Structure 1
Amino acid sequence: MSGGPGAATGPRGRRRARCAAGLLGALAGLTAGVGLAAHHHLSGTSLLVAVSAFSTHLLALAPVSVALLAAGRRWTGAALAAALTAAAVAAVAPTHAGDPVDVPGGRSLSLLTANVRLGEVDAEGLVAAVERSGADVVSLQELTPRLRRQLQAAGLDELLPHSLVEAAPGADGIGLWSRTPLTDEARHDELTFPAVSARVVLPDGRPGPTVLGVHVAGPWPQAADDWVRDMAKLPALLQGIAREADAGDSAVLVGGDFNATWGNAQFRDLLQDGYRDVAEQLGASWTATFPAGTAVPPLIGIDHVLVRGAGPQDLRTVTVPGSDHRGLLATVGLPTG
């Protein structure tokens, strides 16, 4: 009579375990395959943008698929999953290997970028975070007139007395603050939300890097049309900034909310004409900034600092009280010029 205590570990139990492992392995492999396809495919819809944004997470299921399929004795499936794992490693390895650029003899400058959640952050807490960070330049997105006044009252303009501010209701506002003077200030209206740029004057009076603050339209939960248009227009904006910077022998720093991760092909397409992502160069592509302020820790990095002609030295996240993003603080070495 069957069904005794040893039945679960008998031949039938082992067959069931192998079957379960095979099914789970196939599911993991399918999910990783979707992630790989999304990683390499230009996103045109909200769903594709979201899947692509998480594609590096999904690719982590590829080796899990190999192990489960092998445990289930699905050898053909395991071989296919092994090939998928190799493709996944090839896709994400560059972001983990790191490729920093050394800028000998230059001085360091730190840039803090933060989305201030429609102006709802705690102004005093934000100013305290800026002070603790030691940032030389700050880029804030979703800066409202009300928060602008609150930040001024909380002492941000005393801490960083030079600014270029385009405060506006909702998500339209943006601003740059600097410890040292700003020159060549400009507003750029190519994207859904305004972008601002200025050249930082170094403490010794020499012209420093050009800093661009950007905010790309969100692809979720609304339709991704504005995001797609912004990501298509950003390369031209970046190239224009690069030409102006080259004319003045200037490095470029770009800080902002791109609403995109390394997994989005459109974001990787921005890394041309000398532009590099600080997280990628430092092998810190898993630096996550969103969501913040909830019981769930940040899962993806949609805030970025791009550099051109500067050498990344350090990257870390900063708590911004009241925001659904963590701030991103990048320290870079500047050429002596």
Structure 2
Amino acid sequence: MSAFSTHLLALAPVSAALLVAGRRWIGAGLAAALTVAAVAAVAPTYAGDPVEAPGGQPLTLLTANVRLGEADAEGLVALVERSGADVVSLQELTPSLRRQLEAAGLDELLPHSVVLAAPGADGIGLWSRSPLTDETRHDELTFPAVSARVGLADGQPGPTVLGVHAAGPWPQAADDWVRDLAKLPALLQRLGQEADEHDSAVLVGGDFNATWGNAQFRGLLQDGYRDAAEQLGARWTATFPAGAAIPPVIGIDHVLVRGAGARDLRTVTVPGSDHRGVLTTVTLPAG
């Protein structure tokens, strides 16, 4: 239910007003206090607080959950080409979809990759326009995560990009989700420390199965990590569920940024998926 808290906030003033009208003073006071606390927690996503990175070069990252490999490969490759994405992070990547993406030309657009295709929700992959180094598989979470350092043409220190997929809290028991969100900070901190050795940035793209309404997600935003949507004050980054009669209502897919400035973010249709993708352009720091 906390995932929907940003929507439920709209009802809080109504509840407080009704309690006042009914002379339920204690309830009205509690409703007002809870409203203030909730607004304080989610307000950064609306206010915006951009990070300046003067003189740096731009990089565009697309992250998308491909729905157990059911996304349309040709449509996805067309999206990558149309968007000009430099790096792509795909979650729930199956061996079948991986082959379809290769046949559709993804490896020609983005020739460098680190891919762990697997059945079900276990697969993940990163593709890049530029060469990748330090490719690493991370097994701390329920699903594998992958990271790599992106090389830059001008020889400047390239960012480390992490593709991640946290377990969902529903319909299965939430134990794995709680465990994943508790372990993620240590993984992010380790990547941040390694990036500091190269004076470079960290970009994290994935399906966190969590919104700003979840304290566990907000707890990831430490050690210099920022949500790109929060930097830009993006008011509507809902990504799930997609492809249905109703529009997406919650934002569980995110791009986190450390040491770089987000300058543009939008959600995009991923043909055949029940998630919208998140397309983010960041400005990398000049070396």
Between the aligned partners of 1:217 and 1:305, the Cα distance in structure 2 is: 17
Change (3 A) 1:241 1:63: same
1: distance between equivalents of 2:82 and 2:116?
Answer: 25
| 1:316/1:328 contact within 8 Å kept | yes
Partner-residue secondary structure (3-state), 1:260: coil
Partner in structure 2 of residue 219 of structure 1: 169
Structure 1 residue 297: deviation in Å? 0.5
Offset at 1:217?
0.8
The residue that corresponds to 2:149 in the other structure is 199
Per-residue CA distance 1:37-93 (angstroms, 9 max, x = gap): xxxxxxxxxxxxxx11111211221112234445x4537355554444333332322
Deviation (angstroms), 1:206: 3.1
How far apart are the structure 2 equivalents of 1:64 and 1:311?
Answer: 37
Moved more, 116-125 or 284-293: 284-293
Q: CA separation in 1, counterparts of 2:62 and 2:176?
A: 25
* CA shift for structure 1 position 122: 0.6
In the alignment, structure 1 residue 122 sits paired with structure 2 residue 72? yes
Give the distance between the partners of 1:73 and 1:52, measured in 2 at CA. Answer: 27
Amino acid aligned to 2:164: V
CA distance in 2, matches of 1:159, 1:220: 36
Q: 1:74 aligns to what?
A: 23
CA RMSD of aligned residues (A): 1.5
Q: Which residue of 2 aligns with 1:154?
A: 104
TM-superposition CA deviations, 1:118-152 (whole Å, max 9, x none): 10111001111111111110000000111000000
In the other structure, the counterpart of 1:235 is: 185
1:330 Cα deviation from its structure 2 partner: 0.8
Structure (1/2) with the larger helix percentage: 1
Q: Which residue of 1 aligns with 2:38?
A: 88
> Distance between the aligned counterparts of 2:174 and 2:42, measured in 1?
25
Q: Deviations over 1:9-64 (max 9, x none)?
A: xxxxxxxxxxxxxxxxxxxxxxxxxxxxxxxxxxxxxxxxxx11111211221112
Task: Tell whether 2:95 aligns with 1:145.
Answer: yes
1:292 is aligned with what amino acid? A
Q: Is the Cα contact below 8 Å between 2:156 and 2:286 reproduced in 1?
A: no
Is the partner of 2:43 in helix, strand or coil? helix
Name the SS for the 1:208 alignment partner: coil
- Asked if 2 retains the 8 angstrom alpha-carbon contact of 1:160 and 1:177, the reply is yes
2:61 maps to amino acid: L
CA deviations on 1:157-197 (whole Å, 9 max, x unpaired) are 11111111111111111000011111111111111111100
1:266 aligns with 2:220: no
CA distance in 2, matches of 1:291, 1:259: 12
* Identity level (%): 84
| Paired residues of 1:254 and 1:307 also in contact (CA < 8 A) | yes
How many aligned positions are there? 286
Structure 1: 5+ residue runs without aligned partners?
1-50
TM-score, structure 2 as length reference: 0.95
Q: 1:177 aligns with which of 120, 127, 132?
A: 127
- Of 321-330 and 284-293, the range deviating more from structure 2: 284-293
Q: Aligned partners of 2:147, 2:37: CA distance in 1, in Å?
A: 39
Higher relative contact order (CA 8 A, sep 6+): 2
Give the deviation of 1:336 after TM superposition.
Answer: 0.7
| TM-score, normalization by structure 1 | 0.82
Contact 1:62 1:88 in 2 (8 A): no
